[in-house]
A and B are shown apart, each in its own frame.
Chain A
Amino acid sequence: MEMIQIKVNDIAIEVPKGTTILEAARKAQVNIPKLCNHPDLPPTAACGLCIVKIKNNPKMIRACATKAEPGMEIITHDPELYQVRRTVLELILSNHPNDCLQCPRNQNCELQTLAADFGIREVPFTQMIVEHPVDDSSPALTINPAKCVKCGRCVEVCQVMQNVWALEFIGRGYNMRIAPAADVKLIDSPCVKCGQCTAHCPVGALYEKDETPAVWEVLKDPSKHKVVQIAPAVRVAVGEAFGLEPGTVLTKKIYSVLKRLGFDAVFDTNFGADLTIMEEGSEFVERFVHKKGVLPLITSCCPGWVDYLEKYYPEMIPHFSSAKSPHEMVGVLTKTYYAQKTGISAKDIYGVSIMPCTAKKYEITRSDEMRASGVQDIDVVLTTREFTRMIKASGIDFLNLPDMDADSLLGDYTGAGVIFGATGGVMEAALRTAYYLVTGKDLGKVDFEETRGLEGIKRATIDFNGVKINIAVAHGLANVQYVMEEVKEALAAGKEPPYHFIEVMACRGGCVGGGGQPYGATDEIRAKRAKGIYEDDKQSEFRCSHHNPMVQKLYQEFLGKPLSEKSHELLHTHYHERPLYNR
């Protein structure tokens, strides 16, 4: 890598060629103020806060979009720059509502931080607030145009990172806003509710639906039997809201706080993940070994991905695994298997799930099959962010709680279950069990490094004693097109498809980078969270789904065997084409 010499505020530093001034300045211990820039996205250069100067040149340039050149002498702070930046920030603030105290981003807002760091005490300009109704048509997300700072991150994310194209700039100048094309409501747009827009928004203009009031209500209701499940990715991220490093595994503390909050039973989605592997793994064996059904088989546990495929690739529906997501599987079992075991009627059970995901809020009413228990299988989904707010509101000293266990029936999990939270985890878990399902034997080494990591598309050929399985793992919906095109091209030409098994996660990094996770996710943080997941896997007593004793018990006592009629009734679903736009 070619290194170049530059100076920042007269401090000589060396940076790789192609580094932007914004990044280079960090090497000189300088943080240039910024609002619209995000490490995940190419610079849009919109906000105007990151302006800097080159020595002896009166022009001000944007540090985020300008690459450092050899010999450049950059000035990041001087009275003129300070004055102009301050005016720009004051202008932005004059266009932003002054209700931090009631805003979902209170204390967690990039604009608030900037105002505090700049020491703003008054804004000398007239308050001009955009008057436009909030769009809360979507079950998962809300758009509040009044708070939008037009950074453009959500548009970049939705178009470039996710390739969904539900959000666009419409209108011009002061009247410009973010909305779906033709200004339709979000629910009528291609939006797949992945929530990546909410995760990248620096302020309170895009946020998840807050459903904590319903949960608080039900926690006070003695007539309801309250059950809760937590997703794999939640345990390695919840600590961030309490100042801990991303990737700190806090499973037992979470169980503890949930019990303290008043839940009658605490389960774990990882159990559902193990179950999904049994069902989907068997599906794979059906198709791969017994040639019943088409290949490649594509995972379907990510509801954002499910919505995306139904909208953009409906012709590939036969390739989808019919297995529900782990979350829905646990949900339906709480109101059937668990209800039976405890003698509590399904209608008296209230199911809550805590997910890193906003799309799950949509998943629970996706189709009638989400009522396989006779009532709605899961009543409400909370994102990790809502969960951390509940903990804080409850007054419980979370970090100092004693560790507790989950309720085993639907709460015990193997390492294969927890790795669902990272990209490649579903694939790895499936491989561990597929080997057993096909050969009847267990693998010696169960780690499949080739499925791990943040590379957008991971391709590999797994060799099971001479039997070759071609796999592909894609995360971030924009990467899907490449894999799908390869498959479609081969199928259209009558050739063997290039892959037998494909895992897709809508969010970059997999669920650890989900739309409902704590703010500020970057690749660095996603990697740390994933590391925590794989650590948890390594520490687990059992590392393959088929070894989960509670799963075995479930089949023995209730379901029979994978893909049995009962399994199909409760744990499988169907898909159908959906329009991109509802007219």
Chain B
Amino acid sequence: MAYRSFVLICSGTGCESNKSGVIFDRMAKQITEKGLLSEIQLVKTGCFGLCERGPIVKVLPDETFYVDVKPEDADKIVEEHLLKGRPVKNLVYQYEESQKNIKIENIPFYQKQFRIVLRNCGVIDPENINEYIARDGYKALEKALFEMTPDDIIEELKISGLRGRGGAGFPTWRKWVFTKDVQSDVKYVVCNADEGDPGAYMDRSTIEGDPHSIIEAMTICGYTVGAHQGYVYIRAEYPLAIRRLEMAIRQAREMGLLGKDILGSGFDFDIEIRLGAGAFVCGEETALLASIEGNRGMPRPRPPFPAISGLWGKPTVINNVETWASIPVILLKGGKWFAQIGTETSKGTKVFALTGKVNNSGLIEVPMGTTLREVIFDIGGGIKNGKKFKAVQSGGPSGGVIPAEYLDTPIDYENLQKLGSIMGSGGLIVMDEDDCMIDIAKFYLEFTVDESCGKCSPCRIGGKQMYGILDRITKGKGELADIDKLKQIGRAMQKASLCGLGQTAPNPVLSTLRYFEHEYRQHILEKKCAAGSCKELVFYTINPQKCIGCGLCAMKCPVNCISGEKRKPHTIDQSKCIKCGNCYTVCKFGAVIKG
């Protein structure tokens, strides 16, 4: 087919939930009706990353980057751009007026990114194995099966310095070598696609946009360590990713890239999918393995480590989706190439879900060593609505907050740890002056308390106690002794919990205490929430100088606690006020003070 134009439409869950599927169908219909079927190829791809502005439609070779596309725009794009060659200006992404028609890779959002894991997302159709193959897909597998020994592969991984991307950062080559060297009749390879961190969707997008990269990598691992069966444990809340993965596995099997005697090498390998059932704790490797075995998802003491005794007691390699997606590239381009990217201790790139109060929220992939400032301000486009940056939270519910003075920290495992946070799976949540640190800590703790499996006392009881204390503080019932109690319980949880969930659950609290203890004190001693977030600690009063007595606030008050005569300053009865904020919102004269 001699296509002259290619239209790539994002079909990740984010854009799909905003009707990108409908856009695709309408464009297809229009293209057919206008007789352009043989000239234009419509391609459904994975995530482009600029999720803040989705649904995204990219036209090549014109390099037109359409954002915020709606189904009704489909007709216009076909008619004006594809048929008549006139890009629809009001839909094109404009960084700034002066930068019109900027090349896509030079958009600040993309300029500092380096897509290795996301190399095929937004480029190929994830439902078509041929497109994966075209972009050197399964070439690394060829190399592994026919040109490399297991030891060669381990060596390449070692040189690359790849560390587990699930959060722990354990050197991948070491994990593989443990499993490879153990004698066993049966071994397993597992992909951890449970991705439970709230706000994290790196793994989901990778599987939705490039499922074959996982399949290829797991097969390579099977060959390296001597395993013939792989499992992908994916959370049931990712139906689209599951569907794409099922399709990819089926296509790979049909082509013979999974199954017996792959490519005539004599090596057998197959993959099955196992679904999660709504438990964050099943992202912890031993709980995950228990879940695959059909048992209750509770962690087990380690040692023995899964690499030696894992699934059904057999040696098991278990890695995160991002780790897997990096493997084929490392084999093809060499560990040395990979090791050139990143910092001394943390090689390669990392995918982050940059969300919160930034302008360009979405999925990004940057070399390790990129600074937080570059990520938040250059790529992220700075804080929304011109507000002031307060802190960035990394690592999800297991991580901590990093305040403004550390914005120039190069991102890597060790640096983040030194600051009291962790890399985690890649969540980055940006907070501004309106975010209360205690409320943030409480939010995360609420999550981990709910998700705790309950097996060990430090996490089960400690988390609940810490939450109780935070709750009291946000309601104005805190005591100064609470700060030390939080530290004491937090420490016990870090040291004595059975698994990573409990060990890291106190991190948001301890981290906010480290950098924002003054906020805690303010809540406790002054019963005040400067960010204006904790409802109980926010007071609404009427400034008699500004109030003209129009009575609008009194009308809108749901509990009738505002009184006053017409055209005379009104007052709020604090004992009845429920702090809904209606009066603050409706007053046209700025007479209601929030604080």
Contact = CB atoms under 8 A, between A and B. Distances in A.
B461 A94 contact: yes
B61 interface: no
Nearest to A64: B301
B300 to A, nearest CB: 8
Contacts of A175: 454
Interface stretch (A121-129, A407-415, A475-483, A571-579): A121-129
B465 interface: yes
Contacts of B485: 124-125
A551 to B, nearest CB: 51
By size class, the interface of chain B is 20 to 34
B341 interface: no
Contacts, number: 113
Interface string A40-76: 0001111110010000000110101111000000000
Contact of B455 (A46, A59, A83, A126): A46
A87 B279 CA distance: 27
A84 B496 contact: yes
Interface stretch (A166-174, A207-215, A266-274): A166-174
Contacts of B496: 48, 51, 60, 84-85, 88
B454 A87 contact: no
A95 interface: yes
Given A125-B485, A128-B465, A172-B279, A84 B495 contact: yes
Contacts of A95: 457, 461
Interface string B481-499: 0000100110110011110
Contact of A87 (B453, B456, B464, B492): B492
A125 B301 contact: no
Contact of A150 (B451, B457, B462, B495): B457
A249 interface: no
B303 A125 contact: no
A176 B455 CA distance: 8
B327 to A, nearest CB: 29
B301 A91 contact: no
B514 interface: no
Nearest to A47: B457
A60 B492 CA distance: 10
Contact of B301 (A62, A80, A87, A174): A62
Given A60-B496, A91-B461, A91-B465, A46 B456 contact: yes
Nearest to B299: A45
Interface in A422-475: none
A176 B492 contact: no
Contacts of A45: 300-301, 456, 498
Interface string B332-353: 0000000000000000000000
Contact of A174 (B449, B456, B492): B449
Most chain A CB within a 10 A radius of its CB, from B279, B300, B303, B488: B488
Contacts of B296: 168-169
Interface in A115-142: 124-126, 128
Interface in B163-197: none
Nearest to A89: B457
A91 B493 CA distance: 10
A84 B491 contact: yes
Contacts of B491: 83-84, 87
A152 interface: yes
A10 B89 CA distance: 77
Interface in B25-69: none
Given A44-B455, A172-B453, A172-B454, A65 B461 contact: no
B298 A169 contact: yes
A152 B298 CA distance: 12
A545 to B, nearest CB: 46
Contacts of A172: 279, 450-454
Contact of A43 (B301, B456, B497): B301
A149 interface: yes
Given A84-B495, A87-B489, A150 B454 contact: yes
Interface centre among B296, B303, B453, B492 (most CB of A within 10 A): B492
A524 B449 CA distance: 40
A152 to B, nearest CB: 7
Contacts of A168: 296
A92 interface: yes
Interface in B455-510: 455-458, 460-465, 468, 485, 488-489, 491-492, 495-498
A175 B454 CA distance: 8
Contact of B457 (A48, A62, A64): A48
Contact of B452 (A60, A83, A174): A174
Nearest to B498: A45
Interface in B492-543: 492, 495-498
Most buried by A among B298, B450, B460, B496: B496
Interface in A83-120: 83-85, 87-88, 91-92, 94-95
A126 B492 CA distance: 17
Contact of B453 (A85, A149, A173): A173
**Most B-side CB within 10 Å, residue of A45, A47, A80, A174:** A174
A562 B54 CA distance: 88
A557 B456 CA distance: 63
Contacts of A128: 461, 464-465, 468
Nearest to B492: A87
Residue in B451, B464, B497 with the greatest tally of chain A CB atoms within 10 Å? B464
Nearest to B497: A48
Nearest to A177: B454
Contacts of A48: 456-458, 496-498
B461 A174 contact: yes
A163 to B, nearest CB: 15
Nearest to B281: A172
A43 B300 CA distance: 10
Contacts of A149: 457
Nearest to B279: A172
Contacts of B279: 172
A172 B287 CA distance: 13
A66 B300 CA distance: 12
Nearest to A87: B492
Contact of A46 (B450, B495, B498): B498
A145 to B, nearest CB: 13
Given A48-B496, A126-B465, A128-B464, A171 B301 contact: no
Interface in B136-164: none
B455 A92 contact: no
B310 to A, nearest CB: 16
Given A48-B496, A91-B492, A94-B465, A174 B457 contact: no
A91 B458 CA distance: 7
11 contacts: A46-B455, A46-B457, A47-B456, A51-B496, A67-B303, A84-B492, A88-B492, A94-B461, A150-B455, A174-B452, A176-B455
Given A87-B462, A91-B461, 5 more contacts: A45-B300, A91-B492, A95-B461, A126-B468, A128-B465
For the complex of A and B, the 7 pairs showing the least CB-CB separation, nearest first, are A176-B454, A65-B301, A45-B301, A173-B452, A87-B492, A48-B496, A91-B461
Interface of B: 279, 296, 298, 300-301, 303, 449-458, 460-465, 468, 485, 488-489, 491-492, 495-498
Interface of A: 43-48, 51, 59-60, 62, 64-67, 80, 83-85, 87-88, 91-92, 94-95, 124-126, 128, 149-150, 152, 168-169, 171-176
